[in-house]
Every structure is written in structure tokens, then in C-alpha cells.
Structure 1
């Protein structure tokens, strides 16, 4: 995650901010530029029927002749978003919110707050996918696109029957809104013996199943996938029942990023993909703050010769080793800092050589897609991901 700057007062502003606390300017995230910007009103906006559009028209404060934007409807009306929509885009929702198929019943007390927490993390997912140059297309406009259902349990006590199950099916990601309640999520984490359970982690994991369908299934990567992760034709339901009944194999840490990854090749891919996104985004954030954790011997001198740290969203294909060389010492430092404050490890995982090779495979798949899409002219480039 990058750190952004108010164009008016040059104060640092953050991804979810809606107001600059220094100069008071309205802020909005521009998906076409992948940045948070200070805004000024540019006039009233009307729909095709001549009716006023909530929020009016806005432009970037230091670009008086630049592109005009509207606030996403969930920004202007519902106050759960801070993204913008180009004024000539007919969709009332931003690139993140238009992925929603179902949102919670907001007349139920507490649902609005839970939904807001989900939207915050979903926008982080979408930002990360866009930074990586991956396709983020709503299913309502393309059958192979992506959609989200945010649903509530008929019975709010997760220990009883009738639960909404978080998962993915044919591009539709379903998330139980109870996951946005920290107390419920912690009970689930303890019940399932998981060292790490977050909303963002759920989004990244479930997105992996979607991108497996888009990037692996019936492509030239499929054979290599089976060599790394196993044969996904193994019966999925049987594999999960076995995992929950008997637990992971005793030696799971030798080859998998998590215990759950050992349950089935699809889950191994999903857990590895999620960890890859964790790593890239955290390194990107560390670089934005100028954090320089000294990596393995010899690498620091090479970095100085090359002019400093790379941008971790746009590294070249051969740079996976550079990425992991930065991640391992950073993860160790983050864990030590957390322990110093009396908290558990922020990254409670051990990456073995086998797990790292699977992460490298995810890296190659994503870089392969970016390269192919660029050559075909189908990749919508942005300033943040140009130069490959």
C-alpha cells in the first residue's frame, strides 16, 4: 500500500481517508490513477433525466482542467466508500463497489457497521489486484467476471446451524458478515485452530480460487500447477472432510504455507496466492515508508548499486528472489516488534524452500499474464504499473 500526498498542502494522506486533516480538502481515490487525491468542486452533476446526482462533480485540486469525477454512490449516499467514478462512466458505483451483487440488510441494527468494515478490506483487495495488473471485471458486465455476496446468518450465533459459509463459486465470492465482528472472528480462529484469520486474508484467499479459473484452468500453466501443488481432480469434498476429521499431515510444514493448504491442491494454491499478496503489499508499504531492513549478505550492496529499493508491485520477472530476500528479514523484524509490544507474531508462518517455490510459481503466473496482456494490448496501463 502506497502512502499518498494531498496535492494542496502536501500532507501525507492514507488510502481510506475522505478529508485531509491538515487543509480540510475532500479526498477521493481515483482507480484510473491508483492514488488518493485532494478534490475541489467542479459543478453540479445531473443524470440522463436531468436529476441532480448526489455529490456533484469533482476534479483534482492541482489540475483545474483535468478529468472530472463523481463520488461513488456508496461514497456520496452511504458513506462507506471513498472512491471516485469518471464523470462519463454511466455506472453509479466505483470499480470496487460495482463488484457487489448482494449487500447486507441495512435495516438490521449493526449490519451497516459490519458492511463498512468489509468494504474497507475489499477495497484493499481490489487495489492490490489492480496494482498487480490483474483483471478486475464485474460479473454483471462479463460472465467470467467477479462478484461478491455479503450475507448474514439466519442465526447470529455461529455455533448453531444455518451458517452462511464463506467461499467461492464460479466467480461469486460469498462472505459471512459475522467475520467483520472481531469477537466472532476470534472465536472462529480459536475453534478452527488458525494462527491467522483476517477479513483481508479471506478476500485474498477467495480471490485466488477465482484467478485459478482465469489464469490456470486449461492454460499452459495447468501442467506446471499440478507439478507444484498436486492434481486438483482429487475429490474436493472428500479431501476437506478428511482434513477436518484427521487434521493436516504431521510434516505439513515441510511443503505448505499453512495447515489448511495441505487439505487439497486448490486450497494450497489459494493459501499461497493469499500469502503472495500479503508479502507484496507489506513490502510495498514498507518501501513507501522508507523502511530498509537489511536483507541477506551481499544483497544490500547490490541494491545500493541499483539505486535503492524496488517498487514491489512492478518488479521484473527475474526479481522474485529479490522479493523474498526482502520479505524474510522484514517478517522477522515485524514479528519481533509485535512481541516487544506483547502481541502475537504478525506473520506466524515459516516459509520453507518448497513453500517459497510455490510462491515463485504464483509470481510467474501473474507476471506471465501481465506480459501477455501488454503484448496483446488488453492491459489498461497506469502510471503505477508502467515501465515493464
Structure 2
């Protein structure tokens, strides 16, 4: 993620801002330019100060306070590049549903920022693709029926609305022994399953993927039951990025994919802040890094990981100083780095 600033008053902005706190200008994100822009009305359209030669309109979900992205005026699109993938949203006449859906959309826009930067395919319904990317955001039935489960199936990503309840999400994280559970993490994990279909299955990369992640033809239901009955192997930290990654090759891929997006997005933000790490006690320089490159365009995974490891040591140390758990509660063994490298190379080849 980049740092943005208001074109009117130079106030630093968050990606989620809808109004500049400095000059009170309305703000909109221009995904075609990768810019957050102050905007002013021009009839039914808006002039973006970052691109005054064009005219824009807000995504239709802006009217529901659920999106701050814009679309070019006159193009016929009413939804932005992220929202046009929504197939089902909850009943937003319920204030609790509305609030949770707004949080879900915030996380989804951060996901799509990365997908656009990495130039990954994002087919939508109606464009003729056999497996378009669609999202269903579903609430549990009020009659206490079967609970909604977050998951992916042939291009359809379902996200349980209750994942936007921070208390319930933390209860689930603790109950399942997970180190990390966030809305953005869910999106990055589930989209990984989608891109396994695109970049591995459909691109003829099954054998090379199996050589690293294992054979995905292993019965998924049996693997899931075995994982919940017995837990991960005792030596899982020597080979996997998370305990859940040990469950099945598909989950190893999705966990590795999610971590790749975590790393790339966080490194871009660290670089935007000019962060450099150079501990005085580090005599041999192994913990030094200067994040002066675009991680989305790095040629080698080693460049990315060599910057990531010192950064995570620093931010984890800062969190501990505040009595907080580690911001990045994971270890990257060589086998996990090799999997990240495989994903990195597939994305570069696709571009």
C-alpha cells in the first residue's frame, strides 16, 4: 500500500478516507490511476484533482457508505473494479448487517489494490469467462439453521458476515489455535484458492506445483478430519508457513499465497514511509534493510524476503514493547520461502 495525500491541502490520507480531515474535500480512489484524489462536483459527475482532464462518478455502493472508489463517467459501469465482483450482499436494512458489510468491503478493497498492482486476472460475470470471480457475503439464518462457512468453490468466494464481528472472530481464532485471523487475511487466503485454479490448474503447472506443495488429489475431507483430530505434524514449523497449511496441499498453497500478499503490501507501505532497519547490535549486517524498491516488481523472491525478515523482527519487537502480541506471528523456514518463490514466479510469468 502507498501513502496518499490530498491534492488540495497536502494532508496525508488513509486508503479508507472519504473526506480529507484537513480541508474537508470529498475524496475518491481512482483505481485506473492508483491515486486517492480530492474531488469536486461537476453536475452529476465529479472532477478529480489528481486527473482533472477526466470526469468520474462514485461506485454505486458509495450511496450505502460502503465504497470510496470511482469509475470513469460515461463508461456505463455503475460499480467500481472491486464492487462489480459482488454477487450477494447481506440485508443492509439491518444496521448490524450494514456495519459488518462496510468492514468487509474495506478489507476487500485492500485485496483488490494488490490484485490490480500485481496485474492478476479478475474476470467478472457476463464477460464469457467459464469461472468468473464472484463474492457472496452471507449472514447466518435467523432461525438458527446451518451456519455460513467461509470458503471458495469454482470462482465463488463466500465470506461469513460474522467474520466482521471482532469478538466472535477472536473467539474463533483462540478456539481453533490460530496465530492470526482477520478479514483481510480471509480474503487473501480464499483468493489464493481462486488463483490456484487460474495459475496452476488452467496454466498447465500442476506437476511443478505438486513437487513443492504435494498432490492436491489427496482426499480433502479425509485430510480435514485428520487435521482436526490429530493437529499438525510435530515438525510443521520446519516446512510450512502455518499449522493450517499442513492440512492439505490446497491449504498450503492458499496460506502461502496469503502470506505473499501480506508481505508485498506491507513492504510497499514500509518503503513509502522510508523505513530502514539498521540495529546497532547487528555487527554483521544480517538484520539491515533499506526498503527502496517496489515489491510488486521485484525480480527475485530473495529481494523480498531479505527485506521482510528484518522488518518483521523490528515490528514484532515494537509490539512487544507495548505488551502486544507479535504483529507477524510466523516463521519462514526455507521450504516456505521456496513456496513463496514459486508463487512469485508464477505471478511474474502471468504478467
TM-score class normalised by the smaller sequence: over 0.9
TM-score normalised by length of structure 2? 0.94
- 1:43 matched to 2:43: yes
- The residue number in structure 1 matching 2:48 is 60
Give, in whole Å, the separation in 1 of the partners of 2:288 and 2:255.
33
- The residue number in structure 1 matching 2:125 is 139
- The residue number in structure 1 matching 2:349 is 368
- The residue number in structure 2 matching 1:48 is none
Q: Secondary structure at the match of 2:349?
A: helix
> Residues 43-122 of structure 1 correspond to what in structure 2 (within 5 A)?
43-44=43-44, 57-61=45-49, 63-64=51-52, 66-75=53-62, 77-122=63-108
Give, in whole Å, the separation in 1 of the partners of 2:286 and 2:226.
43
Give, in whole Å, the separation in 2 of the partners of 1:178 and 1:123.
19
Q: Secondary structure at the match of 2:269?
A: helix
1:155 Cα deviation after fit: 5.0
- The residue number in structure 2 matching 1:384 is none
- 1:178 matched to 2:162: yes
Q: Secondary structure at the match of 2:264?
A: helix
Give, in whole Å, the separation in 1 of the partners of 2:2 and 2:183.
20
TM-score normalised by length of structure 1? 0.85
Alpha-carbon displacement from aligned partner over 1:31-86 (angstroms, at most 9, x marks no partner): 10111111122222xxxxxxxxxxxx01222644x1111011111x1111100011
1:329 Cα deviation after fit: 0.7
- 1:229 matched to 2:213: yes
Unaligned runs of 5+ in 1: 45-56, 371-388
Q: How many residues align?
A: 347
Alpha-carbon displacement from aligned partner over 1:90-122 (angstroms, at most 9, x marks no partner): 121111111110001112341000000000000
> Residues 371-386 of structure 1 correspond to what in structure 2 (within 5 A)?
none
Q: Secondary structure at the match of 1:85?
A: strand
> Residues 202-213 of structure 1 correspond to what in structure 2 (within 5 A)?
202-213=186-197
Q: Secondary structure at the match of 2:123?
A: coil
Shift in CA distance, 151/300, structure 1 to aligned 2, threshold 3 Å: closer
Unaligned runs of 5+ in 2: none
- The residue number in structure 1 matching 2:141 is 154
Give, in whole Å, the separation in 2 of the partners of 1:31 and 1:63.
12
Shift in CA distance, 97/62, structure 1 to aligned 2, threshold 3 Å: closer
Alpha-carbon displacement from aligned partner over 1:271-321 (angstroms, at most 9, x marks no partner): 000000001111011011111124995689996xxxx71012222x2x321
- 1:330 matched to 2:311: yes
- 1:11 matched to 2:39: no
Give, in whole Å, the separation in 1 of the partners of 2:175 and 2:51.
53
Shift in CA distance, 166/79, structure 1 to aligned 2, threshold 3 Å: same
Q: Secondary structure at the match of 2:327?
A: coil
